[in-house]
A and B are shown apart, each in its own frame.
Chain A
């Protein structure tokens, strides 16, 4: 590889300045109509014969024009292409246009214009990306374009969303789209890419668009294209913004009054013994209320006069009770953990500078960016320094070379466990669920928060180690203290480089070689403190992991353009190979000397080390032909044959293909309606593959699903090789057949633009784990079987309501209607497969709960009721009855829970220098299991002691309140809030994703100081969410909502953007 780099570097250095002149030609110049600056790199072709050149120094070009044609077509990315009559010495003015029709868009292995594109793709442009302040570009896509859904289960800065394009097509394999950055497949962390460097994000949705990435394109392709130099004059952009973060999703309505919690818990204890008589039950409840080892609460935070009860036999807090209880030199007070830990205004700051332009035959873009996002809890910040250089050089008339290189360094303090639902280290879980009776801090006899000799605040771990009190809920845990005293840090380096050389051997025939290299090194250092908490007794610990990711991608492409009269052909043939290598090395030791040094030599006992390397390779040959007749009828066909290292040699190769066609009706003579600018019908069909089978129940890719796998471990000094995975040699590609038909239109002088499409994506030979009886020694076996269809409609509309020189008002809306259906399962499953709380059934959605049905409350005693089938002797269901036993209740199918429609809408207004925009996202018609709410509706059972209640529990059944659907609290009930449709609620939501407000200073003023543009702005992200219930965030997953995850961040910033 070193040789290769050397060669290209030589080319860059040596060939400067060698430009061949055409002898018999006309010359001209391309300039921008906006500012009169020359445009370098514009494409000039002679109409009808696809013979062309590129504008060079000063926008100048010369081209030989045959006598048969005298019309030149001049185009440039972001500009409106025009046709002009060739004339020596001509000056061609290109207008940057809001028109999207002729705009160049990036597609697989090349570019096209929206007008001539036969596939389905949505583009998010820099203008819209810049509006969002996310540390990860995947978070900027939700609601922006149709067909795309973003699920985010982790709000930690730097983490992204799981993007799903047109539904879910796989059971056990990855549903993630393929990311392609500047034409090179990308598997590293998306957060390495600075949003400010991105020119566009193109989402390829149908077969015709992504067949050339066929091998891995079954779930769609997201192409990220970075910026390039556009203007002759160097342009410098400076953007700076400062803001603050807060928690975007509020907590559920939970109890905040300690007295209310004690009263309710007392009643739960009482109710569990009410059969023994009122006196005995009161005695039991009073005795066990504070006894954590008997299912009680452990902490008393009220003082009552001697001999009096805290909770009276009227179930009410003693009126003489005062908050604060002092015993054994400690004062117990209840703290509001939520307010203590989430009120901080955490800073977010971001600075970007870039310079772009062109010179002679060279275009360049260079940027540097700095981001510091402190998240919403302490020690969870993400910072990124990024640099980029994109250079294209017309080395010879026939040879163009270029490189895109970015290097970024990220530093993420990423506390572990913040998305591990029931972990004692999860601050979100604890603050969402801890009863309002527990102190956050240890307080001395005088009620002052204690500080230890190191100056550390002494937090209450509830483990009896500082004060003798013990919590039944998450004892030995205090995430606030852990976050303050433990460290968890990822430092990453990302290098993403792409080089290319394109040689035009003769007119229309071009050979291109692309090389992409991505290397990421991540070093993780973490300590657990030796002072407090779980690891104090063992003296703390340290872990270090070093991992290295490297991928190389090589592509060789040959293209040939040829036109005969009105027949235009475009051929492409190529070869691509991709190599991926991932290695890691990690070590762990206990007992640390310096509490803040996260290195192994700082610790002394129980060392453990491990390292491993994994590989992945693909290789493929591809071909494509595109044809159009007079820009009226379009056709394309592509084919790709791919091999993946994930499959056995005999099953390794798959064939993927597509065909597509389009008809620009507006070009027909019978049309000619002034109000219509574009009316194009398009249709495509094709097949793409997926080779990314996960290990069952994980999201770790199984790189060798075709063969038995073994774990080697030590067994008292000897090897033990235990089988960890049962392989299936027949495993091969999962294939998606993708049909798309739609219409692109533009009307009223391009003021109304839109696309309406219908699609059907059928995945066959699905990679999935067929459940296997555990008695065979393994619980699943990988197979290619079954099929799923995602079918639907989507539309994207943009309307310029007002389009005046000094006032524009635009509205947009998009919607995707989607229906998911299992077409076939493995025949041995006889039409259905039940997997715990889910059922997979032919003819039904893949997202179908199989859970018990809640039947309300038995009014006589407050027990929860569920439905149960009544069966006759032969096992036939004859009816339904209710039961108080959750275990005996029947599980029922709940039907499709996926949203029927999702999308986004928004508007933007620009007037007299002011601009404002808002963006919304929504989904409708689905359901989600509200697991956090279920947890907050527990019965007061010992396993829930110390966990908070939703205030809805106040409506629980009591002898006085019998007309309710909330069962009694009763500490001997264990299944009251077990999984049932009681907690299956609407997943509809409307979120205000983003607000932008800006003012650009008048250019007259700025001209004097030689500044092109100054914009002062305010921006807010994740502004608000309306969902079924306060606290519920249906955007985390298709199935469940969980308030125990790092919540999304609301960022509100102000900034200034200056262009010189």
Chain B
């Protein structure tokens, strides 16, 4: 009897315990999501497939998505724009430890183990990978309108990223077609090919860019996007206009830029609109394509790891508030006509600008002035989110393409394709109507107009990530000191001749280590950082 009791106890216990065990299949809830979970969710709700497309946009504004947390310059595409602008001759900033873009101003960012070099490579290729995921999941011959839209967007975004890579890692297309550029990774590239993938030539990369854009333009015909964060046919035309310009196809550039304007219906900011701080709202009619950033995005909630923190003078809670005010270089400021509304985009030598003369800016001026580095030539171009100075949220949208750029491309395209007269009239009409009533284009030759347009681009697109691309495309020197005048910090007062090797970004060491197709010798050459001359 006793033994039976014992066994009964054991069996009973075992049954109870058995209820506690389970199989080993687990899945995360929140935080991360596995591919299986994603697939299951999309099967239940096919419209979620759009999340893959939106991922391409999300990756452009990801919080610490490339370098990891702790890198406060890791906030997406806008960060590369700031790096490139700080390389140039038009944007200055105090030489202090809080300036995350200091290494770009001094060209220390060209050390190929630096995080900047890594960023300029890894970010673009990460964006390409997200585009490739979409491209690979849609059949090119699809007739489904939604899927055609997805594919068209992904192709355009891939072209955009290769265009950025091509312009930063090799000299511009014209005259350098046969030089090595960057490795090409498409949706067809296998994991074996990735680890042995040599640098394609400039011509090959541009061939892919053009082919992607051509296909994209035909796929996106009639495609309606949900918001300006997505690519539509106008954006694809605009991107092709940029590529045309790079490849010297000027007539095509003018046509494509015009298509972008017509299809998007975008019109330039009026004089009134830019007589106040602006450039924060993608809904503005000037915007063709933008990174739309909402309050609860990680880069916004991070507080300081975002574009406004480093660029917008009104976001005093960020890095600007501790002295990294982004300023225009004095020689360029001095060139701007006093009747040009854009003169007010920067404080003058007396720290004044009509844009912030209003009493509503008094409180801001008080806060800003408390910072010793605040002062002359500080930009007031980029406004506070919702123009709200009392509730500072760093959620300003980041413009990727706007009407003014297309207008200037069209003007340049016309000038360079044998229609300088038409170009001059077109440019004057735009500037007179929208920026400076007294404007007269000082040049009439094709290249003279091209140079004038370069000046207009430097002013109009200041801080928006175009200055370095223009220096490279137009084979211009970096001129920070003009006739002894410069507002760069002393240690960064240097000029660089056109197409100097230091201008090229290098391929990161980690890529060379892991990619058998590229050797140390095949990297862009090491160049000494420029030395200041007083």
A residues near B (Cβ < 8 Å) are: 1, 3-4, 7, 272-273, 276, 280, 284, 288, 292-295, 298, 398-399, 420, 463-465, 468-470, 472-476, 501, 503, 505-506, 511, 513, 515, 534-535, 537-538, 552, 554, 556, 577, 579, 588, 605-606, 608, 610-619, 643-645, 649, 652, 697-698, 703-704, 707-725, 727, 771-779, 828, 833-836, 875, 885, 887-888, 942-946, 971-972, 974
Q: Which of A280, A614, A718, A771 makes the CB contact (< 8 A) with B514?
A: A771
- Asked if B524 CB lies within 8 Å of chain A CBs, one says no
Can you pick out 30 interface pairs between chain A and chain B where the beta carbons lie within 8 Å of each other?
A: A3-B16, A4-B17, A293-B323, A463-B371, A464-B371, A464-B372, A475-B322, A476-B322, A608-B296, A612-B28, A612-B32, A613-B29, A616-B26, A704-B34, A710-B33, A715-B292, A716-B57, A718-B51, A720-B54, A720-B58, A722-B58, A722-B65, A725-B32, A773-B183, A773-B195, A774-B126, A775-B197, A834-B513, A835-B510, A972-B491
Contacts of A610 on B, CB cut-off 8 Å?
30
Q: In the assembled complex, how far is the CB of residue B280 from the closest CB belonging to chain A, in whole angstroms? A: 14
Q: Of B96, B371, B513, which one neighbours A833 at CB under 8 angstroms? A: B513
Closest to A474 in B: B97
Interface residue SS majority, chain A = mixed
A727 touches which of B35, B317, B372 (Cβ 8 Å): B35
For the complex of A and B, the 5 pairs showing the least CB-CB separation, nearest first, are A777-B129, A612-B30, A612-B31, A720-B58, A720-B54
The reply to whether A468 and B392 contact each other, CB–CB distance below 8 Å, is no
Q: Chain B, 37-56, contact with A by CB distance < 8 Å: what is the 0/1 string?
A: 01000000000101110110
Among candidates B21, B25, B229, B392, residue contacting A537 with C-beta atoms closer than 8 Å: B392
The answer to whether A649 touches B25, judged by C-beta atoms less than 8 angstroms apart, is yes
Contact A777 B35 (CB under 8 A): no
Q: Are A468 and B370 neighbours in the complex by a CB distance under 8 Å?
A: yes
Number of interface residues of B (CB under 8 A): 111
Contact of B183 among A398, A505, A775, A942 (CB under 8 A): A775
A707-B35 contact given A614-B28, A718-B51, CB 8 Å threshold: yes
In chain B, residues 184-203, which have Cβ atoms closer than 8 Å to a Cβ of chain A?
185, 189, 191, 194-195, 197
Asked if residues A972 and B392 are in contact (CB atoms below 8 Å), the reply is no
Asked if B437 CB lies within 8 Å of chain A CBs, one says no
Known: A606-B393, A774-B121, A833-B513. A475 touches B24 (CB 8 A): no
Mask of B488-517 contacts with A, CB within 8 angstroms, 1/0: 011100000000000000001111011100
Q: Report Cα–Cα, A718/B510, bound state, in Å.
A: 35
- How far is B248's CA from A433's CA once the two chains are assembled, in angstroms? 54
Which residues of the partner chain B approach A272 to less than 8 Å between Cβ atoms?
A: 491
B residues in contact with A720, CB < 8 Å? 51, 54-55, 57-58
Q: Is the Cβ of B50 less than 8 Å from the Cβ of A718?
A: yes
Q: Would you give the shortest CB distance from B303 to chain A, in whole angstroms?
A: 7
Q: How far is the CA of A475 from the CA of B96 in the complex (A)?
A: 10
* Interchain CB contact under 8 A, A713 and B297: yes
Pairwise interchain contact B34-A707, C-beta atoms closer than 8 A: yes
- A284-B534, A505-B6 provided; 12 other pairs, C-beta below 8 A? A288-B490, A293-B95, A588-B301, A707-B34, A713-B297, A720-B54, A720-B58, A721-B52, A836-B113, A836-B510, A887-B528, A972-B491
Is B175 an interface position by the 8 A CB rule?
no
Taking CB atoms, residues of chain A closer than 8 Å to B10 are 503, 505, 511
If the complex has contacts A552-B20, A714-B297, A721-B51, are A293 and B373 also in contact, measured as CB distance less than 8 A?
yes
Chain A residues with Cβ below 8 Å from B210 are none
Residues of A within 8 A of B128 (CB): 777
Q: Is the CB of A722 within 8 A of B391?
A: no
Given contacts A475-B322, A476-B322, A779-B122, contact A293 B16 (CB under 8 A): no
Encode contact with A along B122-166: 1 for CB under 8 Å, 0 otherwise: 100110111011000000000000000000000000000000000
Pair count A-B, CB < 8 A = 306
- Which of A284, A697, A712, A775 is the one whose CB lies under 8 Å from B68? A697
Chain A residues contacting B31 (CB-CB under 8 Å) are 612-614
B contact residues around A888 at 8 Å (CB) = 526
State whether the Cβ of B464 lies closer than 8 Å to any Cβ in chain A: no
Residues of chain A contacted by B183 (CB below 8 angstroms): 773, 775
Q: Quick one: which of B95, B130, B532 has the most chain A CB within 10 A?
A: B95
Residue of B whose beta carbon sits closest to that of A698: B68
A722 adjacent to B130 (CB under 8 Å): yes
Residues on the B chain within 8 Å of A708, using CB: 34-35
Instruction: Note all chain A residues with C-beta closer than 8 A to B17.
Output: 4, 513, 515, 554, 556
Collect the chain A residues with CB atoms within 8 Å of residue B358's CB: none
A715 touches B229 (CB 8 A): yes
* Nearest-CB residue, chain B, relative to A604: B391
Residues of B within 8 A of A469 (CB): 372
Cβ of B170 < 8 Å from any Cβ of A? no
Q: Whole-angstrom distance between the alpha carbons of A942 and B98 in the complex? A: 11
Contact assessment for A715 and B57 in the assembled complex, using a CB-CB cutoff below 8 Å: yes
Chain B interfacial positions (CB closer than 8 Å to A): 3, 6-7, 9-10, 12-14, 16-17, 19-22, 24-36, 38, 48, 50-52, 54-55, 57-59, 62, 65, 68, 70, 94-98, 102, 106, 108, 111, 113, 118, 121-122, 125-126, 128-130, 132-133, 182-183, 185, 189, 191, 194-195, 197, 226-227, 229, 292, 294-298, 300-301, 303, 316-317, 321-323, 367, 370-373, 391-393, 489-491, 508-511, 513-515, 521, 526, 528-529, 531-532, 534
Q: Are A554 and B51 in contact (CB under 8 A)?
A: no
Q: Considering the chains assembled together, what is the distance between the CA atoms of A754 and B33 in angstroms?
A: 53
Q: Is the CB of B372 within 8 A of A284?
A: no
In the complex formed, the residue of B with least CB distance to A780 is B514
Determine whether the beta carbon of B16 is less than 8 Å from that of A4.
yes
Q: Are B185 and A775 in contact (CB under 8 A)?
A: yes
Residue of A nearest to B36 (CB): A707
State in angstroms the CA–CA spacing of A588 and B20 once bound together: 37
CB pair A775–B96 under 8 Å, yes or no, is no
Q: Is the CB of B534 within 8 A of A273?
A: yes
Are the CB atoms of A4 and B20 closer together than 8 Å?
Answer: yes
Q: Given A288-B490, A614-B31, A942-B96, are A537 and B316 neighbors across the interface (CB < 8 Å)?
A: yes
Query: Which of A398, A465, A515 is B6 in contact with, Cβ under 8 Å?
Result: A398
- Are the C-beta atoms of B33 and A942 separated by less than 8 Å? no
Least CB distance from B423 to A in Å reads 37
Q: Which residues of B contact A556 (CB under 8 A)?
A: 14, 17
Query: Contact at B194–A718, with CB atoms within 8 Å?
Result: no
**CB-CB nearest in chain A for B55:** A722
Which partner residue on chain B sits nearest A643 by CB separation? B24
- Closest-by-CB residue of A relative to B191 is A776
Q: Which residue from chain A places its CB closest to the CB of B50 in the assembled complex?
A: A718
Q: How far is the CB of A932 from chain B (nearest CB, A)?
A: 17
Given the known inter-chain contacts A470-B371, A716-B294, please indicate yes or no for A724 contacting B98, CB distance below 8 A.
no
Residues A617 and B489 in contact in the complex (CB < 8 Å), given A707-B35, A771-B514: no
Contact indicator B32/A774 (Cβ below 8 Å): no
Is there an interface contact between A505 and B7, defined as CB atoms closer than 8 Å?
yes
Closest to B96 in A: A472
A273 to B490 alpha-carbon distance, docked (Å):
10
In the bound complex, do residue A644 and residue B96 qualify as a contact, i.e. CB atoms below 8 Å apart? Answer: no
Q: Is the CB of A295 within 8 A of B30?
A: no
State in angstroms the CA–CA spacing of A513 and B57 once bound together: 54
CA distance A834 to B113 in the complex (A): 12
CB pair A503 B489 closer than 8 Å: no
With both chains docked as a complex, state the minimum distance between the C-beta of B426 and any C-beta of chain A, in angstroms. Answer: 34
Q: Which residues of B sit under 8 angstroms from A778, Cβ to Cβ?
A: 126, 129
A606-B491 Cα distance, complex, nearest whole Å:
39
Contact (A775, B121) CB under 8 Å given A294-B490, A470-B373: yes
Distance to closest chain A CB from B161 (angstroms): 11
A710 and B25 contacting across the interface, CB-CB below 8 Å: no
- Chain A: CB-nearest residue to B14: A556
Tell me, in angstroms, the Cα distance from A514 to B111 when the chains sit together: 58
CB < 8 Å neighbour of A612 from B29, B95, B111: B29
Minimal Cβ-Cβ distance residue in B for A616: B26
B519 to chain A, nearest CB (A): 9
Asked whether A777 and B125 contact (CB < 8 A) given A552-B20, A712-B33, the answer is yes
Closest residue of chain A to B108, judged by CB? A974
